Amino acid sequence: MEKEFAQATGRAETANLTDRQALHAVLSDPQSRYLAKHLCYVLVIQGIDTYILRPRDPADYGVLVDAIGPSPQANDLHVVVGLRGPLAPPDFCNGLMLPLVAFDQIYAFDADSLVAGLPKPDDLDEESFRSASRELFDRVMQITDNAGSSDEHRALNYCAVRYAQIYTNTAHAFASGRSLTAIETRPSRLSGSRSIQDVVFSYTNRTTDVTEKCFVRVDVTEEFPFLVTKLSPYYDR
């Protein structure tokens, strides 16, 4: 396979390109796209090889190539929506024993782009809102063992990339002198036959130590999570 790739690279226009840019250029060429099916795509989480990615639709190998990009950076992020399967067989990916994930969607972005794209409320200044949003996003990313495999983490990850109101609420909390003291996810009492998670955000007043909580309810029963209840006050029972 390495020799075949070397031949394809030799046929491509790769002058003035780095090795990674040349790789992307070759794989992006429709005449060389067949090579993409023979590569191993590993999703790395917090520096650890975590999943081997395979498209559910064979036509989506191009999505993988596009997600890698011509010039990957250390702060690049990828959100993968798919179904987790068994461990890869021993003869797969040079014996890399990781769970296989058959994906339907991949979103590639970086944290700065995500934060910059959030809608800013009129009553907050630009710098304060972006700083608060970036801190919240970083806090979510630093949660231990968040590999997106549990219902709790899937609900939290959904909120982080699909529900902008949590950023607005956190920015308002900081502006009023409250700290973000906890982010918790717990099964909802409304779950029943479905897996519904309550994502709870706790904010503590820096002067009075009084804690206020709010939550978002997310249904993660199926492959594609969705919002059940918008951000609302949360009361411990």
pLDDT at residue 144, rounded to an integer: 67
Cα–Cα distance, 74 to 34 (Å, whole number): 28
pLDDT at residue 191, rounded to an integer: 83
Cα–Cα distance, 48 to 41 (Å, whole number): 14
Q: pLDDT: is 155 or 192 the higher one?
A: 155
pLDDT at residue 27, rounded to an integer: 82
| Residue partners of 52: CB distance under 8 A and separation at least 6 | 40, 41, 42, 43, 88, 92, 93, 96, 98, 99, 100, 101
Choice among 5-14, 33-42, 67-76 with the minimum mean pLDDT: 5-14
- Of 20-34, 87-101, 185-199, 206-220, the range with the highest mean pLDDT is 206-220
* Banded pLDDT at 184 (limits 50, 70, 90): very high
- Average of pLDDT values for 73-92? 90
Whether the model pTM is above 0.95: no
Cα–Cα distance, 234 to 229 (Å, whole number): 12
pLDDT at residue 230, rounded to an integer: 96
